[in-house]
Copies of this chain bind each other. A is one copy, B any other.
């Protein structure tokens, strides 16, 4: 079904002034169109129209429809990785309690989604996406799970039973709740309230999971190195 990009990928990377602008217009339009109609039913014609360019121009910059989605994913990845880097660095500040660290992270998630909620929902919920996009997204999510796992480990939250499960569940819950509360809040919510509510879930879960040990930092045994502040950035690779 999917056609390989048989011909040499002669599309130019946007270097010119106008080019860059056009590409962004297309990507912005694509987000809206894909969100409104889904990926399969989002037509290139509509994207071009909404972007204010011709289909021909669209194909000047993207070899095919899939490539637009992939570009969207790449853009998303870059944003998330950048933000995640900052957020995890901040969360690793030596003097934070685990709840404080988690608040930093959850707030970061919410900010991320608030940027472009529709895109996030599309990428994480559209049932079928091109293989390439799906793989990249999976890798991203995996890296975040790992980063969270490391954070938990640092605070001595033992992964009882299934290693990796706790972090996975945490990320799933936080991610999905963020989607829902941002896109379909059952009652009006400020971002702040979103964060609070998600934290209730997250902390409750960890409390139930593991009456974790007091703060880390202190003289006591964080024998482990300190993970590089930008933990997630590496992981995101």
Contact = CB atoms under 8 A, between A and B. Distances in A.
A173 interface: yes
Interface in A179-199: 180-181, 186-187, 189, 193, 197
Contacts of A169: 177, 181, 197, 201
A230 interface: no
Interface of A: 1, 3, 7, 34-41, 121-122, 125-128, 145, 161-165, 168-169, 172-173, 176-177, 180-181, 186-187, 189, 193, 197, 200-201, 203-209
Given A176-B172, A177-B169, A201-B205, A186 B145 contact: yes
Nearest to A164: B186
Given A40-B41, A165-B186, 8 more contacts: A1-B41, A38-B126, A126-B127, A165-B189, A169-B177, A173-B201, A200-B208, A201-B208
A200 B121 CA distance: 26
Nearest to A126: B127
Contacts of A172: 176-177, 180
A35, A122, A161, A168, most chain B CB atoms within 10 A:
A168
Contacts of A176: 172-173, 176
Contacts of A126: 38, 125-127
10 contacts: A1-B7, A3-B3, A38-B127, A41-B128, A162-B186, A162-B189, A164-B186, A169-B197, A172-B176, A203-B208
A183 to B, nearest CB: 11
A91 to B, nearest CB: 20
- The listed residue with most B CB atoms (<10 A of its CB), out of A127, A208, A209, is A127
